[in-house]
C-alpha cells in the first residue's frame, strides 16, 4: 500500500471492508491465537519531560515508587504460575536503576523462570542495551511516538528523533526482538502524520508494533487537550496488519481505556496480543501515564479473547518476522 492509499483509507468513514481485510490477513499469517504478555510497571520515576505523559519529571503531584528486585521477582512468580511465558518490565526512564541493577533483575528472573523478558525502560546508553541483552533480555519496546519530527521535538524537550531511530537499529543489531509504535491523535497531528507513522513502521519492520490513542493526563501540559480517536486507532491497527503481516500487534490498554470493548475491537481488526498488567494496586494508582486508565486483568483479557472468538495462547509468542523476510524474497 502506498501513502496515498493509506490516506484514502484513513479518510473513508466506512471501515468495515478494511477491518475485514485486516482480520483475514491476521488469520492467515498469525493464526487464531492471542498471545499474553504480563506487564509489571516497576518504577514511576522518570528523568524525561514528555508533554503527554503523567510520569514526566515536572509532575510533582505523583507520589513516586521504585520496586526492589525481590518485589519484582514475586510478581514474576505470580505471572509464571498462571502459565504466562512473557513478562514486560516497564518504567519511566529511571536511572535510579544502574546498568548492573537492571542486569541483576534480568539474571534473577532468568535463573528462576523459563520466561521471555521484554524491557520497556526508555532511552539508555548503547552499552546498557548491550549489557541487558547479554544478561538475558529477549525483547525491547521503545515507541517512536510520532514520525513528525517537529512534533516529536516539541513534545520531548531535550530529546532527539534521530536518537530514537538509532536506538531501534542498535536494539535490532544486538539481537533483541524489537517493539515500537506510536500514539494516534496527539495534539497537532494530521491524518498525513498517521499515514507517515504507518510507513515508518513498515520501514522499521519491527517484531512488534503497539499503538494506542493519546489520552490526556491532567498534570501535564496537554492535560486540557482532547483524546485521540478510537476509530482512527482501529484503522491504523488494520492498516498496520495489512502492511506488516508478521508483526505482533497488541490491542492496547489505551484503546480499552477509551472504549469498553476496545480490546475486542482491536482483536477484530488485526491485533493478536494482549498485555494484562500485574502491578499491585498500591503502585498501579501511581503509574498514571494518562487518566482513567482501564485495568487489564488476566480475566479481563481472557474475556475479550473469548468475545472475539479467538483462542488464548500462553506460549512465549516469539517473533515471526524472520518468516516475513523469507516470504518477501
By the criterion CB under 6 A, which residues form the site for ligand SAH?
52-53, 90, 92-93, 120-122, 142-143, 145, 183, 212, 214-215, 217, 254, 289-290
Give the whole-angstrom CA distance, residue 58 versus residue 268: 39
Report strand pairing: 208-213 vs 273-274.
unpaired
Residue 283 beta carbon to ligand SAH: minimum distance, rounded to whole angstroms: 14
Give the whole-angstrom CA distance, residue 123 versus residue 160: 11
Phi-psi label, residue 258: left if phi above 0, alpha if psi -120 to 50, beta otherwise: alpha
State which residue, 245 or 257, has the beta carbon closest to ligand SAH.
257
Residue 149 beta carbon to ligand SAH: minimum distance, rounded to whole angstroms: 17
State which residue, 25 or 176, has the beta carbon closest to ligand SAH.
176
Place of cell 516497564: 90
Residue 258 beta carbon to ligand SAH: minimum distance, rounded to whole angstroms: 10
Residue 166 beta carbon to ligand SAH: minimum distance, rounded to whole angstroms: 15
Residue 306 beta carbon to ligand SAH: minimum distance, rounded to whole angstroms: 27
Which DSSP helix (H) or strand (E) runs through 119?
Answer: strand 116-120
Report strand pairing: 208-213 vs 33-36.
unpaired
Residue 326 beta carbon to ligand SAH: minimum distance, rounded to whole angstroms: 30
Burial (CB count within 10 angstroms: exposed 0-12, middle 13-18, buried 19+), residue 2: exposed
State which residue, 142 or 236, has the beta carbon closest to ligand SAH.
142
Q: What is the largest CA-CA distance in the chain?
A: 53
Give the whole-angstrom CA distance, residue 153 versus residue 216: 19
State which residue, 183 or 242, has the beta carbon closest to ligand SAH.
183
State which residue, 18 or 75, has the beta carbon closest to ligand SAH.
75
State which residue, 210 or 245, has the beta carbon closest to ligand SAH.
210
Give the whole-angstrom CA distance, residue 235 versus residue 213: 11
Residue 24 beta carbon to ligand SAH: minimum distance, rounded to whole angstroms: 28
**Phi, psi (rounded to 5 degrees) for 269:** -130, 30
Residue 312 beta carbon to ligand SAH: minimum distance, rounded to whole angstroms: 24
- Sign for the pseudo-dihedral over CA of 56, 61, 66, 67: negative
The residue among 54, 89, 25, 33 whose CA lies nearest residue 286 is 54
State which residue, 159 or 243, has the beta carbon closest to ligand SAH.
159
The dihedral formed by the CA atoms of 123, 124, 125 and 126, expressed in degrees to the nearest 10: -70
State which residue, 23 or 54, has the beta carbon closest to ligand SAH.
54
Evaluate whether 52 touches 222 at the Cβ level (below 8 Å).
yes
Amino acid at each position: 500500500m502506498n501513502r496515498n492509499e493509506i490516506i484514502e483509507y484513513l479518510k473513508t468513514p466506512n471501515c468495515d471492508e478494511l477491518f475485514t481485510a485486516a482480520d483475514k490477513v491476521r488469520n492467515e499469517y498469525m493464526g487464531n491465537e492471542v498471545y499474553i504478555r504480563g506487564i509489571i510497571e516497576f518504577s514511576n520515576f522518570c528523568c524525561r519531560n514528555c508533554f503527554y505523559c503523567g510520569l514526566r519529571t515536572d509532575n510533582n503531584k505523583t507520589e513516586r515508587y521504585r520496586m526492589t528486585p525481590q518485589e519484582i521477582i514475586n510478581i514474576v512468580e505470580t505471572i509464571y504460575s498462571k502459565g504466562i511465558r512473557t513478562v514486560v518490565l516497564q518504567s519511566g526512564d529511571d536511572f535510579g536503576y544502574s546498568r548492573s541493577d537492571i542486569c541483576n533483575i534480568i539474571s534473577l528472573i532468568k535463573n528462576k523462570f523459563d520466561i521471555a523478558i521484554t524491557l520497556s525502560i526508555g532511552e539508555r546508553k548503547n552499552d546498557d542495551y548491550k549489557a541487558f541483552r547479554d544478561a538475558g533480555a529477549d525483547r525491547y519496546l521503545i515507541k517512536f511516538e510520532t514520525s513528525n519530527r517537529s512534533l516529536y521535538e516539541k513534545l520531548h524537550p531535550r530529546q532527539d528523533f534521530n536518537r530514537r531511530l538509532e536506538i531501534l537499529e542498535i536494539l535490532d543489531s544486538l539481537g533483541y526482538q524489537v517493539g515500537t509504535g506510536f500514539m494516534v491523535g496527539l495534539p497537532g497531528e494530521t491524518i498525513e502524520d498517521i499515514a507517515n507513522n504507518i510507513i515508518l513502521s513498515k520501514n522499521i519492520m519491527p517484531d512488534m508494533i503497539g499503538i494506542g490513542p493519546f489520552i490526556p493526563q491532567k498534570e501535564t501540559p496537554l492535560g486540557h487537550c482532547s483524546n485521540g480517536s478510537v476509530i482512527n486507532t482501529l484503522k491504523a491497527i488494520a492498516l498496520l496488519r495489512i502492511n506488516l503481516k508478521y508483526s505482533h500487534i497488541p490491542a492496547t490498554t489505551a484503546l480499552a481505556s477509551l472504549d469498553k470493548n476496545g480490546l475486542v475491537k482491536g482483536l477484530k481488526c488485526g491485533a493478536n496480543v494482549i498485555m494484562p498488567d500485574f502491578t499491585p494496586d498500591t503502585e498501579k494508582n501511581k503509574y498514571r501515564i494518562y487518566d482513567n486508565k482501564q485495568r487489564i486483568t488476566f480475566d479481563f483479557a481472557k474475556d475479550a479473547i473469548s468475545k472475539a472468538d479467538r483462542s488464548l495462547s500462553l506460549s512465549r509468542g516469539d517473533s515471526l518476522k524472520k518468516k516475513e523476510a523469507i516470504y518477501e524474497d
